[in-house]
Chain A
Amino acid sequence: MKWNSIRTKVLAALLACLVVGVGGILAMMHYGFERNSQALAAESVLSAQKLFTILQAREISKMTAVSEALIANPQIRDALASKDRGRLLELTAPLYAQLKTQGITNWMFHTPEPDMRVLLRLHNPAKFGDQLNRFMDKEVTRTHAIVVGNELAKAGFALRILRPVYDANGAVIGYVELGEEFGQFIHAMQQQTGNDYGLLLSKSFLNREMWAESSAMWKRRDNWNDNPGFVVADRTTDSDAIIRFQGDLSSIQGQGQVLERYEEANSVFVRGIFPIRDASGKTVGAMFVIRNISEFYLAMQHTQRVLVLLTVVALALGMLLVLMLLNRLVFRRLERIICIATRVVGGDYQSEIRVSSNDEVGEFELLFEQFRCVFVNLLASVSDLQSGVEPPLEDAIPLEDAIKEKSMSCV
């Protein structure tokens, strides 16, 4: 192969096109995948946030309805008014067992202000008499109206409603509180979307000892030391390892943010996070969203492979076609001209250059044929002048005869 031949140069140019084409497709697919995975992650965060809000609203409605039924019961009202803990437990314990199966895991009765102490914890009857002094407690005593919201206690996070209970004269005789642990929300969300979720709580709002106690009570691993600023309160994944967040939970924007894409065990995931605020509006935790985009990734990879293959095949066919056309239209005709020109110089005055087309090479063929005729005529003239020219060997065409014959045909 001649490195400076037109064939080689055209081939090199076509190969360069092939490389650029394949490179372009790979770059385009990579860019597309990055953008789409980012969009999927953003969509996952947004839809998780919306779903979380819907689930919260639904559960608030449920707890409000249950609390309405409770405060309408005169026996419960009387027991609360008389602060009869035993009677209250006797009346409500069977119902608590049923409510617990429906997700209402926290149920408390509080004495009225000014001290507002816990009269009865249905979920932990042995513990009572303490003052909680939470934001919701202050709000309900201030407004004497139902207060709803997320409330982070020392050992956990729950969606709660707290409402006053009135006697027949309209005086507040105490408060009833219902709550649902956040863990059930993420499991419901996981069932609905197929994504994985993790609930992170800021350590600054938790108590170390109480976290250890609640971990023991809920039979979960004490993961306090896993992360510097937060604990994983609950998750739908098998382990905490997949939930990685380097940053301050309070700095997460209200609409949430997309974290990085990562690969683990032949799967591709995108992650995002959105904040969870308590009843007072403080960011006390965050919801971690993990979406498995392996299927999408594999589909993109398949498309990429098909596109690359199609490009290679198309460009290879194009290269073949271009080289065949060049060979047929240019190179073979040039080789024929060279061959005839060489043979004419060698003494073959019979061969003619046929003009095979009126294209650019055809014009060259015509020019060369005209030049050949001039050359043969010139040889005839020289031959006439050289009277003593020796005849060529017997295998060659007799010079003078051939020249004379050809010069006639060229006139």
Chain B
Amino acid sequence: MSQLYDLRLRIEENIKSSGLDPMEMKGKIGLRSGKLLALISATTPDDPQAIAKLKLAAREILNLNL
């Protein structure tokens, strides 16, 4: 499992537990990081730049440190 996919799962888990609107939150993170979460799969190759952007977006939008 790629690191990007692991990040996606953790973000989705956080959104679910927080009770926020999942579409809106994922949309904001997608727009902020430039990465569609729905297109990140277990086989998506890791890209350090994409990983950093996703972590930053999660921190800014969900206040989630990954």
Contact = CB atoms under 8 A, between A and B. Distances in A.
Interface in B1-52: 5, 12, 16, 22-31, 36-39, 41-43
Contact of A339 (B22, B24, B25, B26): B24
Given A386-B41, A388-B43, A392-B12, A343 B24 contact: yes
Contact of A347 (B16, B38, B43): B38
Contacts of B27: 341-348
Interface string A343-364: 1111110000000000000000
A343 B12 CA distance: 14
A306 interface: no
B16 A393 contact: yes
Contact of B22 (A345, A382, A389, A395): A395
Q: How large is the interface on A (under 10, 10 to 19, 20 to 34, 35 or more residues)?
A: 20 to 34
Contacts of B23: 342-343, 346-348, 396
B12 A393 contact: yes
Interface in A62-79: none
A178 B12 CA distance: 118
A390 interface: yes
B5 A390 contact: yes
Contact of A386 (B16, B22, B39): B39
A399 interface: yes
A15 to B, nearest CB: 33
A346 B39 contact: no
Interface residues of B, number: 20
A345 B16 contact: no
B26 A345 contact: yes
Contacts of A379: 36, 38-39
Contacts of B31: 341-342, 345
Given A392-B12, A395-B16, A346 B41 contact: no
Contact of B24 (A342, A386, A393, A399): A342
A341 B28 CA distance: 9
B43 A346 contact: no
B38 A399 contact: yes
A229 to B, nearest CB: 85
A347 B27 CA distance: 7
Contacts of A342: 23-24, 27-28, 31
Interface of A: 339, 341-348, 379, 382, 386, 388-390, 392-393, 395-396, 399
The 6 closest A-B CB pairs, nearest first, are A346-B27, A346-B26, A342-B27, A348-B23, A346-B23, A345-B27
11 contacts: A345-B26, A346-B22, A346-B29, A347-B37, A347-B38, A379-B38, A382-B39, A388-B41, A388-B43, A390-B41, A390-B42
Given A347-B22, A389-B39, 20 more contacts: A339-B24, A342-B28, A343-B27, A345-B27, A346-B24, A346-B26, A346-B28, A346-B30, A347-B37, A348-B23, A348-B27, A379-B36, A379-B38, A386-B41, A390-B5, A390-B42, A392-B38, A393-B12, A395-B16, A395-B22
